[in-house]
Amino acid sequence: MEEKVIVRLATGDDAGDIKKITDEAFAVYAKNAGTGDNLAALNETLEDIIGDIENKNVFIAFSGGRAAGSLRIDIKDSTAYLSRFGVLCDFQKNGIGRALMSSVDEHMIKSGVKQLCLHTASKVSSLMRFYYGCGFYAESVSSDRGYLRAHLCKDYTPDGMA
């Protein structure tokens, strides 16, 4: 039986769970993208995460009462940037990522955001497929961080449809 997924905005009490999710997810990301351990996500502290919770929209997903995934959104006027999207390995392919994105879409529309962007490793086909399936498109690709990163965007139309 599939567990019900609950997504909500994070609080400071969630920082430890978010750190665990981020550390695991980005260790896998680094391996798959070939970045080595040179990712800022792998070096952040609990204080960094608490700062993001206080200054950004940080979402956390639970399945079966356990923290399973998280992501962060930084909104600037009518554009937003998604970062630190991760789902624990034990919970992948169970709808956690989709539930997080659905909550983000609702939040972006309510907030009047016209475009949501992110960067991801363009050589990791599972990530590219996931984001394309969520309505993102590739705006550009660069190697400014030492590996190929796609800059993906998703537009929200005035009628509220993503």
**CATH number of the domain where residue 49 is located:** 3.40.630.30
At residue 52 the predicted structure's pLDDT band, cuts being 50, 70 and 90, is very high
| pLDDT number for residue 39 | 83
- Name which residue leads in pLDDT, 45 or 148: 45
What is the value of pTM for the model shown?
A: 0.92
Q: Averaged over 19-28, what is the pLDDT?
A: 95
Total domain count for the chain?
Answer: 1
User: Helices 15-33 & 46-55, crossing angle to 10 degrees?
Assistant: 100
pLDDT, tens digit (0-9, with 9 covering 90-100), for 60-101: 999 999 999 999 999 998 999 999 999 999 999 999 999 999
Report whether pLDDT(2) > 50: yes
Residue 158 lies in a domain: no
| pLDDT number for residue 143 | 84
Report whether pLDDT(43) > 70: yes
* Domain assignment of residue 19, given as a range: 5-113
Residue 99 lies in a domain: yes
pLDDT, tens digit (0-9, with 9 covering 90-100), for 102-155: 999 999 999 999 999 999 999 899 999 999 999 999 999 988 877 889 999 999
Q: Averaged over 44-49, what is the pLDDT?
A: 96
Residue 147 lies in a domain: no
Residue 127 lies in a domain: no
| pLDDT number for residue 1 | 44
Residue 62 lies in a domain: yes
Q: How far apart are the first and last CA of the chain?
A: 30
Q: Averaged over 4-28, what is the pLDDT?
A: 96
Residue 162 lies in a domain: no
Residue 131 lies in a domain: no
Residue 154 lies in a domain: no
